[in-house]
Amino acid sequence: MDKRRMEVIIDGKVYTLAGEESEEYMQRVASYVNGKIQEMKKEPSYKKLNRDLQGILLALNISDDLYKTKEILKLAQEEYDKKDKTIYDMTQQLSNEKLQAETAKRLAEEYRHKINELQKRIIELETGAE
Amino acid sequence: MDKRRMEVIIDGKVYTLAGEESEEYMQRVASYVNGKIQEMKKEPSYKKLNRDLQGILLALNISDDLYKTKEILKLAQEEYDKKDKTIYDMTQQLSNEKLQAETAKRLAEEYRHKINELQKRIIELETGAE
């Protein structure tokens, strides 16, 4: 894929980036970085730090968001596995209930035939047609 | 919660951080940031950039990982919702099959009683016990 060149504004400065992502995606990511910088600038202690430490704190702060998201993803995948297990169990139950319903229907059908036969026999006996 | 003070090493320098997270968690996050820096340093063009731009690129790079993880999480949540829908549908099906099985069993039971009655009647007729 060709690399696109695009401009993003971070902390008031224009940067030209080259990447394979869509411009829309990169602007979304840049906007998130800007938000993080603004958030950190609200801390009076942050401004007193040198640029290096500011950069490291920014990287750690964003990585913290990443790791929190990874934890949520991990929990979501655990829930996902539980749901798969539930679906598996329900498939077994469903197949068992279907079998029970079929067996009972077949039995009812056999009994119905038997009743017909017995009723015929009774008519024969009652009318002396034997 | 009390803020803990802990030392992390990023790009060969020791930084003292204060935060509410566990030391183990912060070391994991710091180690990830280190990995990102090492990865970026492999690009010859990166070293030529000034520190400001290096910091911005690092922040964008980590944010890219974050947004990719968020996308995976979004897909996982969509799958999760689909599974919930499947479980809901299967619950309905299961209740329907249970009802069918119960109805068929009740019918079979009624027929069985009827057969008993008819068989008694036949014995009465055959033995002339009427």
From residue A2, alpha-carbon distances to A18, A19, A20 in Å are: 10, 8, 7
Collapse the DSSP code of A19 into the 3-class scheme (helix H, G, I; strand E, B; otherwise coil) and give the result: strand
Q: Partners of B15 in the beta sheet?
A: B8
Tell me: the pLDDT tens digits for A67-97?
A: 999 999 999 999 999 999 999 999 999 999 9
For testing the chain A interface, which of B25, B56, B91 should be mutated: the one with the most A CBs within 10 Å? B56
List CB contacts (< 8 A) between B30 and chain A: 60
Q: Tokens at residue A84, please?
A: 């798969």
Out of A70, A90, A119, name the one closest to residue B90 (CB). A90
| pLDDT tens readout for residues B70-117 | 999 999 999 999 999 999 999 999 999 999 999 999 999 999 999 999
- Give the C-alpha separation, B41 to B110, whole Å: 82
Please name every residue paired with B51 in a beta bridge, in sequence order, or none if there are none: none
Q: Residue A6 forms beta bridges with which residues?
A: A17
| Contact yes or no for A70/B66 (Cβ under 8 A) | no
Contact between A14 and A7 under an 8 Å Cβ cutoff? The reply is yes
Q: CA of A70, closest CA in chain B: separation in Å? A: 7
pTM for this prediction:
0.81
In angstroms, rounded to a whole number, what is the distance separating the alpha carbons of residues A48 and A90? 60
Question: B23-41 and A51-127 are packed helices; what angle lies between their axes, rounded to 10 degrees?
Answer: 110
Candidates A1, A58, A97, A37; CA nearest to B96 is A97
A115 CB neighbours in chain B (<8 A) are 111, 114-115, 118
Report in angstroms the alpha-carbon separations of A79 from A76, B44, B77, B88.
Answer: 5, 43, 10, 16
Write out the H or E segment, with its range, that includes residue B35. Answer: helix B23-41
Q: Which residue of B has its CA nearest to A74?
A: B73
Judged by CB atoms closer than 8 Å, whether chains meet at A69 and B64 is answered as: no
Candidates B97, B117, B120, B123: best to mutate against A (most CBs of A within 10 A) is: B97
Q: What pLDDT score does B119 carry?
A: 96
User: What single-letter amino acid sits at B38?
Assistant: Q
Task: Please give the Cα distance from A21 to B125 (Å, whole number).
Answer: 92
Which of B63, B94, B118 lies nearest to residue A97, judging by beta carbons?
Answer: B94
Q: Do residues B125 and A125 make contact, with C-beta atoms less than 8 angstroms apart?
A: yes
Q: Measured in Å, how far apart are chain B's first and last C-alpha atoms?
A: 92
Angstrom distance (rounded) from CA A79 to CA A56: 34
Whole-complex ipTM? 0.81
For residue A17, what pLDDT is reported?
A: 86
pLDDT surpasses 90 at A114: yes
Residues with Cβ within 8 Å of A79's Cβ and at least 6 positions away in sequence, in order, are: B80
Could you tell me how many CB contacts below 8 A there are between chain A and chain B? 168
